Structures are given as C-alpha cells and as structure tokens.
Amino acid sequence: MRGTLSHRSHPDGRARLAGEAGLFLVAGVLTMLLIGCADEAPPPSLDDLRQAEPAPAEKADEFAWPADPSHPVLEVQVTTPEQQGTILIELMPELAPATVVNVIDLANEGYYDGTTFHRVVPGFMIQGGDPKSRDRDPTNDGTGGGENPLPDEFSSAPYLRGVVGMGNRGRSDSTSTQFFIMHADNRNLDGRYNTIGRVLAGMEFVDDISRVAIDRSGRWGPKDRPIANVTIQRVRPVGQVAAFRNAMQLERDAVGLELADPDTTPPAEAASAPPAAPPPDASVE
C-alpha cells in the first residue's frame, strides 16, 4: 500500500500516467483507422483474379450457352507487326443485353477503329478497345473509356478460352468500352464481368497476338503492353451467326471436319488446344 502511494507521489508520476494514456489513445485511433482502411480496401483486379486459386464453380460443360441463329457476329480486323488477321465474335444478347447493344452501336460508329490491344498476357487474355490507345502516349493506355458507364450484367457464363468479356473498374456499374478475349480458361473471372459472347473463328490469330513482344515490366507504359502496336483496324457487325456457321461447316465438310456443337464447346476451343500456364511474372493490373 505504501509502495503504491510512494509511486503515485513520484514527481514524474502524473506525466508518466498522462503519457501512457496518450499512447492508449493513439493506439485506439490507429486501430480504428486500420479497420476503416480494411473496409475500404480496393476490389480485386484482373491480376489478382488471375493469380488466385480457382473458386468453386459449376462445371463448364454444365453451362448452356445461348444458341440462336440470329445472334449478331462482330468482325474485328487486326494488324500486328508481322501480319493481318480477323477475329469473328458471336455476340450473345441473352447474357448482357444492354452491353451487347452498346458494343454494336459503338462498332457501327467506328468507335473501335484505330484503337489497339494495349494489354497482352499469354495464357490469360488480350485486352483492347480503349480510345486513349489511339494517341502516341503509351502511358495512358488502359485508362480510357466511354462517358456513360453500363450497369452490371453478370451471368454464370464460364470464362473459358475464347470467351469475350468487358472490362470494368472494379466497382459496381463501371463497365465501359474495353473488352478482352480469353486466351486460356480462368474461372476466377466468372460472375465478375459482363460477358458478351465467344470467338466464332480466329482463335489461332489470338494465339499469334499472344506471342508478340511485350513490355512485361512497364518500362515504357503500362506493363504487358505490346512493344509495337497491335492495332484494331476495323470493328463492324457483319451478319448473323447462322450464315457464318453454314459457310464454316461447308468449308469443314470439304476437308472432312465437323463443326463444334454450339451448345457445348466453342469453335475456338475445338480449333486448337489451350496453351501452357502463364509464366509467374506475367500479370495484369
């Protein structure tokens, strides 16, 4: 008891107690700030989702892809440093109605003409459609989009090789003009992006694009940007899928091949095998 009274009567006792109280107050404030920061943590990026462990999901072959002969087909003409090629995309309005209508409108306006595939990640996806990629400044590639963002129209469509989705800013209702084509399966993207369709023909050209030289470290702009432009020369709707499927089947009949069943496996998957897993340093922001 006396020891306690002696301790309190120490000339520095009040100062020390005040200091301890201040430390507790500072610790409490820091704890609250940390909790607040945790609540406001940014949503996962495409890079985070690519590298994460696959989330439990229904089997890809259990998903019934919409099959309608009137589906519009989008033709994407692309020039790489080595060659020119065309990618045909079967658009599926059932998956994301407003988004598909917007893409068709933009294509008819020539919005995508002259933009680039500004992000190429082998074994993951290629991404393009940013209007800022037309200029001579590589540092702003991937930061642009339309003035009016679109609502979320997420579906249970699996993100398999050849599936086409729309980029977003990681928050609700932020889909804009940028799109990506899956170079390989990645189910971590399921239910996080507006899916607009699948590659009908031209996946072998997507494979070629995935082999261009890229700036992995971001030395001259955003990382994973092609060192030489991969330019989207022209994007236009070119008809309905039925006509293309008939023509493709006739071509396959001539060489004894059968067109893939649209209700099960995309033609893109039937055309070529999935690539090897991406190197560990290949990432997307």
pLDDT tens, N- to C-terminus, the chain (285 residues): 433 333 344 444 444 434 444 444 444 444 444 434 333 333 455 665 555 555 555 565 689 999 999 999 999 999 999 999 999 999 999 999 999 999 999 999 999 999 999 999 999 999 999 999 999 899 999 999 998 999 999 999 999 999 999 999 999 999 999 999 999 999 999 999 999 999 999 999 999 999 999 999 988 889 999 999 999 999 999 999 999 988 888 877 776 655 555 444 444 444 444 443 333 333 333
Residues 6 or more apart in contact with residue 209 via CB below 8 angstroms: 78, 80, 117, 120, 126, 230
Q: Can you give the CATH number for the domain in which 265 is found?
A: 2.40.100.10
What is the pTM (predicted TM-score) of this model?
Answer: 0.73
Query: pLDDT at position 52, please?
Result: 56
In a domain, 262, yes or no: yes
Element (DSSP H or E) covering residue 26 = helix 13-39
Please, what sign has the CA dihedral across residues 143, 178, 272, 76?
A: negative
The total number of structural domains that make up the chain:
1
In a domain, 57, yes or no: no
**How many other C-beta atoms are found inside a 10 Å radius of the C-beta of residue 283?**
18
Asked whether the beta carbons of 217 and 223 are under 8 A apart, the reply is: yes
In a domain, 237, yes or no: yes
Which residue segment(s) compose the domain that 197 sits in?
A: 70-271
In a domain, 78, yes or no: yes
Asked whether the beta carbons of 282 and 216 are under 8 A apart, the reply is: yes
CA distance 146 to 165: 16
In a domain, 46, yes or no: no
In a domain, 278, yes or no: no
In a domain, 132, yes or no: yes
In a domain, 176, yes or no: yes
Query: pLDDT at position 59, please?
Result: 60
Half-sphere exposure of 79 (CA within 13 A, CB side): 8
